[in-house]
Structure 1
Amino acid sequence: MSLRQSTLGFIGLGRMGQHMAANLFAARPNDAYVVCDASPDAAAAFARRFSAEHPAASIHVAQSPAELAARSSTIISMLPSTPHVEQVYLSPGGIHDLLATLSAADAQRTLIIDSTTLDVQASRRVSQRIQTTGALFVDAPVSGGVTGAKAGTLSFLVGGSSAAFTASSPVLEAMGRRIIHCGEAGAGLAAKICNNLVLGVQQVVVAEAMLLGQRVGLDPRVLASVINSSTGACWASSENNPVKGALLNKTTPADRDYEGGFATALMSKDMGLAQRLAEETQTPIPLGEAAQSVYKEMAESDAENRELRSAMSSKPNVLIFGGVNTYSRHLAAYLVPESGESPVQNLRIVDKFSVYPPTTYLGAVFPRILKKPNVEYKQANLTVPATVSSVFDPPPNQEPYSYIFDFTGEIRYDRPDLVQVGQTLLVSRLIAQEAANRKVKAYVRIQLPWYDSPDKGLRDEKDHQKTNGVIGTWWHETLRSLAAIKDLNLVILRIGIGYGPYLNISQITTAVVIGRVYKFLEQEMKFLWSPNSPVHTVHLDDIARAAWSCATWIAPLGREEANIIAGEQIWFANDKSKLKGIDGVIDPSLTPIAPFFNLVDDSELTQQSLGTAIGEVFGIKTGFHGFVQATMAKMNMKDLVEDVNEEHVAAWNQILMASNPQIPNTPLSAYMDSHMFSKPGVAYSNAKIKRILGFTLLHPRFTPDEIRAVIDAFKEEGTWPNA
């Protein structure tokens, strides 16, 4: 038997971890032990204490998680939050990389138990990656707090396969009393988050009830006795009552002058995880949100949590470039939500538009996000290299920007080559090169669907599609240019046709407006081309979530490993003669590789199903022009565009003026540019992003209710007619 096979490794020796490790090691006297902590002094101090109590013990202090993994067949981690887990397990040179170097037999004999309370999707990503090496992995968050960790009475809520649960149970039994198998990977965390949601709300309510009782003259001991023997009984009152002396024959944190235990900031973090899980599953938790606001305020003002906040400052600083008139403002609202925990420290948004006063439509939510203290907006000319460099400089006393989201690019279809080169290719390359120079951890490029797809079948990321017009050619050439930049941690996210509240520049939004026009005209709304022509869609919420998932996926991996996992050849699709004299383009014979994901919903929407949904919302008939009419339209496209727009725009203006009150200004238009008259073709497979990132759609289907939600948002801000 090798030394590694009989060795226990423990990572994270904080308030919980130090007691868990001590109990585990003491219960396994025949094993060797390895410990590791972000603070080497803390790990060394633990080793000294344990050796003093157990002179025969063999304990080693590892200088890195990888060293610990090289020495340990069983690894337990207890870390502060999601970024720490991803760093320990998935960063270059981390535990995953170490396991990948082991023999198949050694890897398969490795058991990993992560007891951190973190984001469910992030844990599933870690589990999936670790299991590719052959190792077993369980998420096993705990219940019982520091008191339970000291006493060895914790409850472990375990997520993982039956084999992994069976292997982990003897280890967990050395640290706790109850071991509950909750289901597959992530299930333990989901159960823990739900449990902590209950606890978090209870603790606030118990504190309020005890305060109320005292102010009306009740003895705290009497009130606590009543609660604990009645229908209000709960752990927050019977074991953790916040009033000193309220519990007879029990010592609570209040009786110890509120000595630190489970930090308020950690409770705030857990409540934030519950809110994020609720948002992902569209589950309302109003009491949880109210309780979270209490914990957040307490944590921010609690001097005892300064050290913890410092440890958790690994939340990245984020830069978003471009897209304020399309998708980036929704990403900003996701990263710095109006309620709930933000996954970022600070956010800076940079674009050519002014927001004070606005020179483009901003929607109802984005202006409120801009008022957040950790959000900054800069109006800038991104064609100037010095300007691009300067916006990467963080404000004083802040960490560098480490996650970059690139939404830049000219989106008007009729712009010529020179405009596309200057506003799309060169701008994006300037930003990307600066990001590479500054060694950012993640660079996500949003690619719009400027490609042709057939009426049948789905296109995956490997398919070398024909680009759509001048705009498609140069947007795609931009991808090739970025993929060729050395040391750029690039992920390409190619999206379908976006839709959602407050998105005014969208084929879907325009189609909905025109549906309202045909209701007014009392006519059938007819589409050109084939009913089966694909128009695959994706909701704004899912664009934001997927962009963030791409960033958090590549950050701990780095480009080289990300290419191995998800890299695709970025094919040449341009005219070689157009490349002469243009900086930033690469040789047509080269095929750079970059991680590439499609993002569409599961609807596989076609023109026919889009028309059916619009027809249901407005109570109108929808249909299609025949082949002959479509062919004639193609031959006389300019005249057709002018005639149709004249009718649509005039009717829309009448509708706006008939609204009560009238709507003299709206970002919504019934005008269709010539591109919207061309044959549609957006048909992508979303299997890869689901498989590799574990991504789940919040809006899996395009339905009439989704259209109604878009209309309701515009109505609420007064830009959609109410008559």
Structure 2
Amino acid sequence: MTESEKPSVLIIGGLGYLGRWLAYYIYTNKLASDILIVDKLLPQLASLAPEFDEVCQNVQFQQADMSREHSVRKVFEREGGSTFDFVFNCAGETKYGQTDGTYQEKNVDLPVACAKEAARRGVKLFVELSEGRVYGDGPDGKTETDELKPWLPLARFKLEAEKELQKIEGLNLVILRLANAYGPYSSKSISTAICHARVYQFLQESMNLLWTENLKVNTVHISDVNRAIWHVAQWYVAGKENWNEAWGTTPTFNIVDDGDTSQGSIAEIVEEVFDVKVQFVGKIISQYATRSNKAIEEAVNDANEEILGPWDDLLDQAGITRPGPITPFIELEQLKDSDLSLDGTRFKNVTGFKYDVPKMNTAMIEGMVESYKRMNWWP
């Protein structure tokens, strides 16, 4: 494929965890004729790792608040009136405990404003990165046709965005519902567990977790997220082979590895990497500890009080004054006993995608720790 035949790409939220790695993947593999990264932050303030220096120096960057329509129009304007081929929305609020207003603005208003402009300009494909937590409780292995009943506020607004995007006339849309994305420099979910393990390694104590080893926390490595996003774009513009219109007009896929990650499988890796014993207090005790909102808050406060002091001691001993985004701090919503259990069969069968990291393993976790050390985040 010649340079002129390669697609032009816009990455919204391109300095967030998903966006920066997607930009890195597209740039290093020379997949696009040009890339525009848009983010509300400046690169200098985004705690970027050294790998991203070359990307930031060689692709276009534009600072903009993409929840504002005038900013969206300005970003989409290109020389000669041309349009982007692919628009990937990697933006959105993924922090726990934010207000409904924040989630509405960043998880609904932003993608809708961008998608409307994409439709108006005839963009070949708009990819929305959504949440695996949009499904309700019930049997393991949620498929794309299962009941949609989000159990976290951030997922509730992500689902609302999905619905609004599908109403936009003329929008070429794919929705990807992600499991817990993890990998180098990540600071969510799996990272919290790793930081906890480091503290209990330091304390030389057993690490106690609520609920049971069977609680599902399905995962997907960031390298496979990048590949899946690009793969689905190629599949879509090639004609959406194997897509059954009975499933809906918008292709929607779960993006999850084959490992069916649970608290138990993470515990096995943590025990091996950090040489700590992990114990589960069980469902009955956990239900008692979290029997009311007040009880949950007390449980979270007690856990954080127990863990944050030793974490600060570790940082002090290591001389780390700017520890970065990783922390063992537990948010209230992380104590939910709802499974994140997804079935990724549709994506593999329909598009032919294969995961390079089919299961979380020791090497992946050790790689995360090494990445933290490179940034001087790890005590």
Q: Say yes or no: TM over 0.5.
A: yes
Aligned to 1:94: none
* Residue 469 (1) aligns with residue 155 (2): no
* Residue 625 (1) aligns with residue 289 (2): no
Query: How many angstroms does 1:449 deviate by?
Result: 2.2
Letter in structure 1 aligned against 2:191:
T
* Residue 664 (1) aligns with residue 328 (2): no
1:612 match: secondary structure: helix
For residues 441-460 of structure 1, what are the structure 2 equivalents within 5 Å?
Answer: 441-452=124-135, 454=137, 456-460=139-143
* Residue 346 (1) aligns with residue 7 (2): no
From the superposition, tell whether residues 677 and 519 of structure 1 become closer, same or farther in structure 2 (CA, over 3 Å).
same
* Residue 320 (1) aligns with residue 11 (2): yes
Q: Is the Cα contact below 8 Å between 1:435 and 1:443 reproduced in 2?
A: yes
CA distance in 2, matches of 1:546, 1:368: 23
Aligned to 2:226: 544
* Residue 707 (1) aligns with residue 368 (2): no
1:515 match: secondary structure: helix
Aligned to 1:392: 76
* Residue 423 (1) aligns with residue 106 (2): yes
CA distance in 1, matches of 2:64, 2:236: 28
For residues 107-122 of structure 1, what are the structure 2 equivalents within 5 Å?
Answer: none
CA distance in 2, matches of 1:567, 1:327: 31
* Residue 528 (1) aligns with residue 186 (2): no
Query: How many angstroms does 1:714 deviate by?
Result: 1.5
CA distance in 1, matches of 2:125, 2:220: 23
* Residue 510 (1) aligns with residue 192 (2): yes
* Residue 565 (1) aligns with residue 244 (2): yes
CA distance in 1, matches of 2:259, 2:323: 30
Query: How many angstroms does 1:397 deviate by?
Result: 6.1
Alpha-carbon displacement from aligned partner over 1:563-618 (angstroms, at most 9, x marks no partner): 9536745xxxxxxxxxxxxxxxxxxxxxxx41011111111011111111111110
Alpha-carbon displacement from aligned partner over 1:413-432 (angstroms, at most 9, x marks no partner): 32233332222211110000
For residues 91-130 of structure 1, what are the structure 2 equivalents within 5 Å?
Answer: none
State the superposition RMSD in angstroms: 1.9
Which residue of the other structure, out of 293, 301, 308, is the alignment partner of 1:649?
A: 308
Query: How many angstroms does 1:710 deviate by?
Result: 0.8
Query: How many angstroms does 1:693 deviate by?
Result: 1.1
Letter in structure 2 aligned against 1:407:
C
For residues 599-614 of structure 1, what are the structure 2 equivalents within 5 Å?
Answer: 599-614=255-270
Query: How many angstroms does 1:629 deviate by?
Result: 2.5
Q: Is the Cα contact below 8 Å between 2:260 and 2:341 reproduced in 1?
A: yes
Aligned to 2:65: 381
Which residue of the other structure, out of 475, 478, 499, is the alignment partner of 2:182?
A: 499
Aligned to 1:688: 346
From the superposition, tell whether residues 551 and 543 of structure 1 become closer, same or farther in structure 2 (CA, over 3 Å).
same
CA distance in 2, matches of 1:404, 1:521: 47
CA distance in 2, matches of 1:674, 1:449: 19
CA distance in 2, matches of 1:418, 1:717: 33
CA distance in 2, matches of 1:491, 1:462: 15
Q: Is the Cα contact below 8 Å between 1:452 and 1:681 reproduced in 2?
A: no
TM-score (norm 2): 0.93
Aligned to 2:356: 698
2:157 match: secondary structure: helix
Alpha-carbon displacement from aligned partner over 1:501-543 (angstroms, at most 9, x marks no partner): 0112x10011111111111111111111122111110000000
1:331 match: secondary structure: helix
1:478 match: secondary structure: helix
From the superposition, tell whether residues 362 and 455 of structure 1 become closer, same or farther in structure 2 (CA, over 3 Å).
farther
CA distance in 2, matches of 1:333, 1:445: 18
Q: Is the Cα contact below 8 Å between 1:536 and 1:601 reproduced in 2?
A: yes
CA distance in 2, matches of 1:533, 1:453: 15
1:450 match: secondary structure: helix
CA distance in 1, matches of 2:189, 2:9: 29
Letter in structure 1 aligned against 2:364:
E
Letter in structure 1 aligned against 2:206:
E
Query: How many angstroms does 1:483 deviate by?
Result: 1.1
Q: Is the Cα contact below 8 Å between 1:325 and 1:361 reproduced in 2?
A: no
Which residue of the other structure, out of 628, 640, 644, is the alignment partner of 2:299?
A: 640
Query: How many angstroms does 1:378 deviate by?
Result: 1.3
Moved over 4 A (4+): 452-456, 561-564
Q: Is the Cα contact below 8 Å between 2:206 and 2:277 reproduced in 1?
A: yes
From the superposition, tell whether residues 411 and 344 of structure 1 become closer, same or farther in structure 2 (CA, over 3 Å).
same
CA distance in 2, matches of 1:691, 1:653: 47
1:707 match: secondary structure: helix
From the superposition, tell whether residues 567 and 479 of structure 1 become closer, same or farther in structure 2 (CA, over 3 Å).
farther
CA distance in 2, matches of 1:385, 1:567: 34
CA distance in 2, matches of 1:716, 1:437: 44
Q: Is the Cα contact below 8 Å between 2:67 and 2:105 reproduced in 1?
A: yes
Query: How many angstroms does 1:399 deviate by?
Result: 4.7
Q: Is the Cα contact below 8 Å between 1:536 and 1:600 reproduced in 2?
A: yes
Query: How many angstroms does 1:698 deviate by?
Result: 1.1
2:198 match: secondary structure: helix
CA distance in 2, matches of 1:650, 1:475: 35
% of aligned pairs identical? 29
Bigger radius of gyration: 1
Q: Is the Cα contact below 8 Å between 1:498 and 1:540 reproduced in 2?
A: yes
Aligned to 1:5: none
Query: How many angstroms does 1:719 deviate by?
Result: 1.9
CA distance in 2, matches of 1:617, 1:466: 36
Alpha-carbon displacement from aligned partner over 1:97-148 (angstroms, at most 9, x marks no partner): xxxxxxxxxxxxxxxxxxxxxxxxxxxxxxxxxxxxxxxxxxxxxxxxxxxx
Structure 1 unpaired stretches of 5+: 1-80, 82-308, 570-592
Query: How many angstroms does 1:716 deviate by?
Result: 2.2
Aligned length: 375
For residues 156-195 of structure 1, what are the structure 2 equivalents within 5 Å?
Answer: none
1:492 match: secondary structure: strand
Q: Is the Cα contact below 8 Å between 2:13 and 2:38 reproduced in 1?
A: yes
1:493 match: secondary structure: strand
Q: Is the Cα contact below 8 Å between 1:449 and 1:494 reproduced in 2?
A: yes
Q: Which has the higher contact order (CA 8 A, sep 6+)?
A: 2
Letter in structure 2 aligned against 1:620:
V
From the superposition, tell whether residues 409 and 568 of structure 1 become closer, same or farther in structure 2 (CA, over 3 Å).
farther
Query: How many angstroms does 1:498 deviate by?
Result: 0.7
Query: How many angstroms does 1:448 deviate by?
Result: 2.1
* Residue 330 (1) aligns with residue 330 (2): no
Alpha-carbon displacement from aligned partner over 1:197-239 (angstroms, at most 9, x marks no partner): xxxxxxxxxxxxxxxxxxxxxxxxxxxxxxxxxxxxxxxxxxx
TM-score (norm 1): 0.50
CA distance in 1, matches of 2:136, 2:204: 33
